[in-house]
Amino acid sequence: MMLRTTKRMRWLILTLSALVLLTSGSPGLAQAGWSIAATTTTTASVPAPISSPSLMTVVSNNRIKYATRAWAQVVNLATQRILIINHISQTYWEGPLDEYLPVVTEQTKNMRTALLKQLSPEQRVQIETRSGPFDSLAPTLAITFERSAEEDTIAGFKAHKYMVLRNGEAYEETWIAQEINFETEVDPQKFKALVKRQQEARTTPPGVVLAELTELLEKGYPVKTVNALSGVTKTVVQVEKKTIPESEFLAPAHYTAKSLQEVTAPQAGFRRPGP
């Protein structure tokens, strides 16, 4: 009788230990989410093969990762922290959004001021037309969108066309796929709050388009976007709903932790995250 009781207690302890490990947020734990690969092209270029996407978006458990070949940015909406990875210098910084946004905003302001002093009026127009989603020379920024009757199938998903306007002017044509929706992976209110802060700071993740930073994301995901000013097209080429490992949201082990200013410092030939 005593032996049977001892065995049962041992089994209960092992079971409870396993449950604790499963719910403790272990670095090896994986979560369900989305992995989306996209390419960018201009009028004169051709799409890259699926095996070589230039932009990646990974979403899982209130975390969003935007990545290019040069940069990666991971936002944790639950903790309000951000990870910036610089693949060029193999460095990274991780910390609170409250620390990140003021630094990058000041860097952007200084770079913009120095650049505008050297530009002619014609060059200023060129800079404006090729600027990022929130990087406008206008002091205020209003984003609206209009749905058209046009539809298409992109990356295997049916999509509706919208026109996204920035300060009342056409900025992007975008096709939204309703079947690609982050509502179970991302808290919509936390995401809206993040976008509002990024808009006020005029900072954006690397590679994103304006449609990704509006209420359109509640309707689905932009599988194709054409910038009406620069002519650059971003096209989704592969979409996977799958289990995302924790390592996807971490800096590579061999990268070096540096200060935010060092990691985000402009480098010749490459553009840092943000406008």
Any domain includes 92: yes
Tokens 């900025």 belong to 171
Any domain includes 166: yes
The residue with greater pLDDT, 128 or 86, is: 86
Q: What is the mean pLDDT of residues 197-209?
A: 86
Rounded to whole angstroms, how far apart are CA atoms 273 and 275? 7
Q: How many CB atoms lie within 10 A of CB 272?
A: 20
Where residue 188 falls among pLDDT bands split at 50, 70, 90? very high
Weakest-pLDDT range from 15-19, 34-38, 82-86: 15-19
- For position 33, what pLDDT does the model report? 95
Any domain includes 275: no
End-to-end CA distance of the chain: 72
Any domain includes 174: yes
Q: What is the DSSP letter of 227?
A: E
Any domain includes 242: yes
- For position 203, what pLDDT does the model report? 83
Any domain includes 6: yes
pTM of the model: 0.79
Weakest-pLDDT range from 30-39, 97-106, 108-117: 108-117
Where residue 47 falls among pLDDT bands split at 50, 70, 90? low
Q: Is the pLDDT of residue 109 over 50?
A: yes
Any domain includes 274: no
* Residue-number span of the structural domain to which 48 is assigned: 2-263
What Å distances lie between residue 265 and 108, 188, 200, 268, 274, CA to CA?
10, 31, 21, 10, 11
Rounded to whole angstroms, how far apart are CA atoms 26 and 32? 15
Question: E-strand spans in the chain?
Answer: 30-41, 55-60, 63-67, 71-76, 81-86, 91-96, 143-154, 157-166, 169-177, 221-227, 233-245, 256-257
Tokens 């995302």 belong to 244
The CATH number covering residue 255 comes to 2.50.20.10
Contact 71, 255 (CB under 8 A): no
Structure tokens at 195: 């976008």
The residue with greater pLDDT, 36 or 47, is: 36
Fill in the amino acid letter for 219: K
167 SS3 class:
coil
Q: What is the DSSP letter of 232?
A: -
**pLDDT tens-place string over residues 249-259:** 999 999 999 99
Overall number of domains in the chain: 1
How much is the mean pLDDT over the chain?
A: 82
The residue with greater pLDDT, 118 or 46, is: 118
Any domain includes 271: no
Residue-wise DSSP of 78-125: TTTEEEEEETTTTEEEEEEHHHHHHHHHHHHHHHHHHHHTT--HHHHH
136 SS3 class:
coil
The fraction of the chain above a pLDDT of 70, given in percent, is: 79
Structure tokens at 62: 């209130």
Q: How many CB atoms lie within 10 A of CB 215?
A: 13
- For position 95, what pLDDT does the model report? 97
